[in-house]
């Protein structure tokens, strides 16, 4: 009986350790402790900004092994510059007549994301668009 028990115990322990490692690789982006900063706007209501932030909070969950620490509206000046810059050549974004830019900080831990390095990211841009006051759509992200 002892001859069988030890190998089975070792196999069970290996299985548990492997499963734990697999679970670590698939952790969704964490938004639980994000600090949402309020920024005044002449272009958008606070509800408009909050709706855009809600889209990014949901989309950030696809950023595996990342923790979002701060998000805020980038401000009317930044948004106006982006609108002028993006008026043409962005057909893949679909129809839009409004654009909003959010800025965030987040941390990557574990280097399990193919396109991001471990460590902090600050002032990361999120660009969202919408048509006729409809729902915001996440169009692009990254450094400006």
pLDDT in tens, the chain (144 residues): 556 555 554 455 445 444 444 444 558 899 999 999 999 999 999 999 999 999 999 999 999 899 999 999 999 988 777 877 776 767 778 888 899 999 999 999 876 556 788 899 999 999 999 999 999 999 999 986
CA dihedral (84, 90, 96, 99) in degrees, to 10, reads -50
Distance CA 113, CA 83 (A): 30
Q: Is residue 5, in this structure, part of any structural domain at all?
A: no
Q: Is residue 53, in this structure, part of any structural domain at all?
A: yes
In sequence order, which residues have a C-beta less than 8 Å from that of residue 11 and are 6 or more positions away? none
Q: Is residue 76, in this structure, part of any structural domain at all?
A: yes
Q: Is residue 78, in this structure, part of any structural domain at all?
A: yes
Q: Of how many residues is the chain composed?
A: 144
Side-chain half-sphere exposure of 62, counting CA atoms within 13 A: 6
Alpha carbon 128 to its chain's center:
13
Q: Is residue 131, in this structure, part of any structural domain at all?
A: yes
Provide the residue range defining the domain that includes 60: 28-142
Q: Is residue 23, in this structure, part of any structural domain at all?
A: no
Model confidence over 86-119: pLDDT tens digits? 767 677 788 888 999 999 999 998 765 567 888 9
Q: Is residue 11, in this structure, part of any structural domain at all?
A: no
Q: Is residue 72, in this structure, part of any structural domain at all?
A: yes
pTM (two decimals): 0.77
Domain count, the chain: 1
């Amino acid at each position: 009986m002892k001859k069988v028990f030890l190998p089975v115990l070792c196999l069970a322990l290996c299985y548990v350790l492997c499963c734990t490692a697999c679970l670590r690789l698939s952790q969704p982006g964490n938004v639980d402790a994000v600090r949402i900063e309020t920024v005044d706007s002449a272009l958008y209501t606070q509800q408009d900004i909050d709706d855009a932030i809600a889209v990014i909070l949901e989309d950030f969950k696809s950023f595996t092994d990342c923790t979002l620490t701060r998000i805020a509206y980038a401000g009317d000046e930044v948004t106006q510059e982006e609108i002028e810059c993006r008026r043409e050549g962005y057909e893949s974004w679909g129809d839009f007549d409004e654009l909003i830019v959010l800025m965030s900080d987040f941390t990557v831990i574990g280097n399990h994301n193919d396109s991001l390095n471990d460590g902090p990211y600050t002032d990361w841009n999120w660009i969202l668009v919408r048509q006729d006051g409809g729902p915001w759509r996440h169009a692009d992200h990254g450094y400006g």
